[in-house]
Amino acid sequence: MGIKIREFVEPLQAEILVRGGMESEEVEGGYCGDLLSDCIAHAEENSVWVTVQSHPNVVAVATLVGIRCIIVTNSQEVQEQTLEKAREQKITLLRTSLSSFETVAILSRLGVPGKKRRVVR
């Protein structure tokens, strides 16, 4: 059982840039990182991703991994192409003025666990 995306918009003082499936979708965990390749390798499906990255490739990564929501921190500017791709893929895109650290702390208090796929070596 996860937490509905809409439940963390207010605590994060987040701006909704793309609604995606936020009214009904839940996330089961969270991932924080700014390297796209690291997110691909380690983030889990049905997660929320906290990052300062805001270019269109973040939506491509989210789609590949199965991430339901991207939270862009530090009030980063988000390109229109990123918004368009998020709408096409129905991925919720939020922006907050909080730092990534503050954002993760709030998500954790709300019950979103940090999750990471284990890499087999």
Q: Is the residue at 100 inside a domain? A: yes
Q: For residue 116, is it within any domain?
A: no
- Asked if residue 54 belongs to a domain, the reply is yes
Of 65, 75, 70, 62, nearest to 44 (Cα)? 65
**CATH code at position 29:** 3.40.1390.20
Task: Name the token pair of 110.
Answer: 């709300």
Segment 60-77 shows an average pLDDT of 97
40 within a domain of the structure (yes/no):
yes
Report yes or no on 87 lying in a domain: yes
> According to the model, what pLDDT value does residue 2 have?
87
pLDDT for residue 119: 60
pLDDT at 90 (0 to 100)? 96
Domain count, the chain: 1
Q: What is the mean pLDDT of the chain?
A: 94
Q: Is the pLDDT of residue 43 over 80?
A: yes
pLDDT at position 120, please?
Answer: 56
What pLDDT, on the 0 to 100 scale, is given for residue 39? 95
| Residue at 115 is within a domain | no
Query: What is the arithmetic mean of pLDDT over 87-115?
Result: 96
Structural domain boundaries enclosing 48: 3-109
At residue 121, the pLDDT reads 58
Rounded to a whole number of angstroms, the distance between the first and last alpha carbons of the chain is 30
Query: What's the alpha-carbon Rg for the chain, to the nearest Å?
Result: 13
Q: What angle do CA 27, 40, 37 make, to 5 degrees?
A: 140
Q: What is the pLDDT of residue 5?
A: 95
Give domain status of residue 99, yes or no.
yes
* pLDDT tens-digit readout, 9-25: 999 999 999 999 888 88
Inside any domain, residue 117: no
CA distances from 2 to 83, 85, 99, 116 (A): 25, 25, 23, 15
Contacts of 112 (CB under 8 A, 6+ apart): 2, 3, 8, 27, 29, 30, 48
Whether 92 has a pLDDT exceeding 90, the answer reads: yes
